[in-house]
Amino acid sequence: MKHATAKTNPRDAVPVLDLSPSEATSIGEQVDRIALDTIAAFDAFVESNRQFPKNTWKLVKTRGELCAYRTRRHRSSPESQLRATAPRDGRHMCETSETHISSSSSSDDMAQTVVMEERKQKTPPLVVVSGIVPGTLEDVMYGNVSDSDATWRLRSHYLKDAHHDCKMLATIRRPSAQDPFRFLALRWSLKKFPVFMKMRDVVYAESSGVVRDSVTNQITAGYNIMHSIELPGRIPDLAPDFDILRFSMSLCFVARAYDARSTEIYCRAVCLPGPNAPESISTLIYAENLLNSVNGVSCAVAKKLVWLSQERERQRFQYTKRTLATATHCQGCLRGLKLVGGLSRSAAVCQCCRRIVCGKCHREKKVVVDVDPQTHGVVAKALVFCLQCVAEATEMSAMTIVNGSEPAMSLDT
């Protein structure tokens, strides 16, 4: 690796940007079109009984109820694949976060990324992930939204998406009390690949939001987009100083409520990993990362447990003043903790409500308790929570938290 002369850390070499109004508008229009195109493709997928024809698609990997497919190599390019899934009449109107947009645009930005890089590499496959994940639509959105570097790192930890570092370059849309999942920003990210591949970075627009019914104003879907953005001359190439290669990607997740306790996920993605990256391996790695979206609900539950713990600490809430040394019964199932011969059942203190509970009445969950502002790393600890608090956090509406206050990035343990 070459030694940098001016900067010793890649993130320091990437500047924060002051986008012009026209640049911000252009980026917003791109991601809005991608959201609508993916929603239209999702509609077409549902209408076709959620089938992946074997002559067009190849199963790459599964995880739980999620499946990742890729287009077969001998088939048409991702650009034509994407256009083929859009409604034939091109009319698909819906309301997204404070923006009225139409999918009647003749260009597809996801395919445009592929076309833009096609001269450098052969056309990559389109990857589609679909399936059902446990948890509500609100939980899926709450687990995936990241409107700061700290929440980005927290999400990255739970999703295990192999991102090594990130930096917010510009913020275009911010969440509000009326629209807490609305967000659009320009980000730089450094991503780890297998040991035989060099590290890669990407500059992309990240957008999240919800779709509301135009009559009832109820949330009908949520989306999360990561789409590579080209800004010639604005972001330096890190290859000369850091031996880091740039890759391009474009992906859009759409989530809809499947029933009262589960959510249907649909994602379309294209990735150009850069030079010296075997297509089969990079596609498998990318599909693996996309399937990690199932962990988004786990991220939401963990964030809610931290919030609940902080709220009860703030309110000085305490079920009991007993300690492990003085407790005689489990406060969950009321079974005695003392056994014959001076032995004791295993017991622990719930991090949230401070009740003494036996081994059958608690779960150990690894949660992020701090984000170091200096090293930009996360501190995760395995903490004990009683089954009642876990159930309460799971059932708690994410809107209760996002309309109030986000949990702080530190938790006393």
User: Tokens 């992906």 appear where?
Assistant: 251
Three-state secondary structure along the chain? CCCCCCCCCHHHHCCCCCCCHHHHHHHHHHHHHHHHHHHHHHHHHHHCCCCCCCCCEEEEEEECCEEEEEECCCCCCHHHHHHHCCCCCCCCEEEECCEEEECCCCCCHHHHHHHHHCCCCCCCCEEEEEEEEECCHHHHHHHHCCCCHHHHHHHHHHHCCCEEEEEEEEEEECCCCCCCCCEEEEEEEEECCCCCCCCEEEEEEEEEEEEECCCCCCEEEEEEEEEECCCCCCCCCCHHHHCCEECEEEEEEEEEEEECCEEEEEEEEEEECCCCCCHHHHHHHHHHHHHHHHHHHHHHHHHHHHHHHHHHHHCCCCCCCCCCCCCCECCCCCCECECHHHCECCEEECCCCCCEEEHHHEEEEEEEEEECCCCCCEEEEEEEEEHHHHHHHHHCCHHHHHCCCCCCCECCC
Choice among 129-143, 258-272, 323-337 with the minimum mean pLDDT: 323-337
Percent of the residues in the chain that have a pLDDT greater than 90, as a whole number: 46
Per-residue pLDDT band for 88 (boundaries 50, 70, 90) equals very low
CA geometry: angle 265, 307, 393, nearest 5 deg: 55
Where do the domains of the chain lie? Answer: 11-71+124-301, 312-404
Measured CA to CA, the distance from residue 59 to residue 104 in angstroms comes to 31
- Report the chain's mean pLDDT, rounded to a whole number: 81
Q: Which amino acid is at 392?
A: E
Sign of CA dihedral 235, 145, 25, 42: positive
Q: Is the pLDDT of residue 129 over 80?
A: yes
Angle between helices 137-144 and 296-314 (to 10 degrees): 80
Q: Is the pLDDT of residue 161 over 90?
A: no
Instruction: Find the mean pLDDT for residues 390-398.
Output: 92
Strands 245-246 and 200-212, how do they pair?
parallel
pLDDT value at position 164? 82
Q: Per the structure block, which two tokens stand in for 130?
A: 């679909």
Measured CA to CA, the distance from residue 28 to residue 36 in angstroms comes to 12
Q: Is the pLDDT of residue 203 over 70?
A: yes
Per-residue pLDDT band for 265 (boundaries 50, 70, 90) equals very high
Q: Per the structure block, which two tokens stand in for 163?
A: 């991102």
Q: Is the pLDDT of residue 254 over 60?
A: yes
Range 312-404 classified under CATH 1.10.10: no
Q: Is the pLDDT of residue 268 over 90?
A: yes
Q: Is the pLDDT of residue 154 over 70?
A: yes
Per-residue pLDDT band for 151 (boundaries 50, 70, 90) equals confident
Highest averaged pLDDT of the listed ranges 17-31, 300-314, 369-383: 17-31
pLDDT value at position 313? 81
Instruction: Tell me the per-residue pLDDT of 5-57, one tens digit each, with 9 for 90 and over.
Output: 456 789 999 999 999 999 999 999 999 999 999 999 999 999 999 999 999 99
Q: Is the pLDDT of residue 126 over 80?
A: yes
Hey, which CATH number is domain 11-71+124-301, 3.80.10.10, 3.30.365.10, 3.40.50.11810, 3.30.530.20?
3.30.530.20
Q: Is the pLDDT of residue 95 over 80?
A: no
Q: What is the pTM of this model?
A: 0.81
pLDDT value at position 378? 84
pLDDT value at position 17? 95
Measured CA to CA, the distance from residue 209 to residue 219 in angstroms comes to 10
Q: Per the structure block, which two tokens stand in for 316?
A: 């000085």
